Amino acid sequence: MPVALRQLVVLARWPAPGRCKRRLAASCGSTSQAAAMQRRLSWHTLRTAAAAAKRCDAALVLAATGLGPRALQRWGQQLHHGAPPLDLQLQGGGNLGCRMQRQLRRGFARGSQQVVLIGSDLPDLQSSDLMQAFAQLEQQPLVLGPASDGGYWLIGLTRNGFERCGPALMSGIPWSSNQVLTTTVQRADALALPVALLREQNDLDQQSALEPWLLMNRDR
């Protein structure tokens, strides 16, 4: 089987009651409702990613947390039934930076030259966003998708960029704060690592942010 020179990784948390995003659950007041909303978003993200991966000749990976190997297999089948092949992986332990570094390392170890990571809580995500990320990596070693809360919803690196600066770029970042993007861009500048920025998007933190999207897509 030929090596995919591009890899697109969806980072997702298993949408089970008590295991989905804590901030969303607090906003909903119900872990079951939060899990249902996150389950729908995961499906939307993976469908969008699959379309982009096909257009970009990228391997598609679902890297999950909050469940075991057998449950991951079942969830992957439910999410991606009848679609192109989906590589299922467990994220493993550590903070967000450690888990993202692990996924980047895995992708490059498999021979990819570009690896893009995205979250699964992006109601406005479009396949064109992901296609643009890969296009930017043809010109720059690092691409980031700014989030309105001060973080980023996408990070992509070339093999050369990761081997030169990857661990230093993602270590010591104040994860879950509004300084994630600013600190990362400053770190990239200090490492002389050029960065391209995509459009700003909203991560899902509250039920109110998702309600318009659910109404628009309820019959799809």
Residue that the structure tokens 């990976």 belong to: 61
Whether 119 contacts 64, CB under 8 Å: no
CA separation for the pair 134, 177 (Å, rounded) = 27
| Tokens, residue 196 | 């391209």
Compute the C-alpha angle 212/217/219, nearest 5°.
135
Chain mean pLDDT for the chain = 85
Residue 219 has a pLDDT of: 43
Domain 6-217 has CATH 1.20.1630.10: no
Confirm whether pTM is higher than 0.85. yes
Find, among 162, 171, 125, the residue nearest to 143 by Cα.
Answer: 162
Length of the chain (residues): 220
pLDDT tens track for 148-159: 889 999 999 999
pLDDT above 80 (res 204): no
Q: Is 82 left (phi over 0), alpha (psi -120 to 50) or beta?
A: left
Rounded mean pLDDT of 57-77? 90
Which of 3 and 39 is assigned the larger pLDDT?
Answer: 39
Q: Work out the pLDDT band at 76, boundaries 50, 70, 90.
A: confident
Residue 188 has a pLDDT of: 96
- Sequence-distant (≥ 6) Cβ neighbours of residue 62 within 8 angstroms: 9, 10, 12, 46, 72, 76, 79, 80, 86, 87, 88, 89
pLDDT tens track for 89-134: 999 999 999 999 999 999 999 999 999 999 988 888 999 999 999 9
| Tokens, residue 193 | 């690592």
Backbone angles phi, psi at 24, to 5 degrees: -65, -45
CB count in 10 Å sphere of residue 42: 23
Distance from CA of residue 212 to its chain's centroid? 22
Residue 123 has a pLDDT of: 86
Whether 202 contacts 124, CB under 8 Å: yes
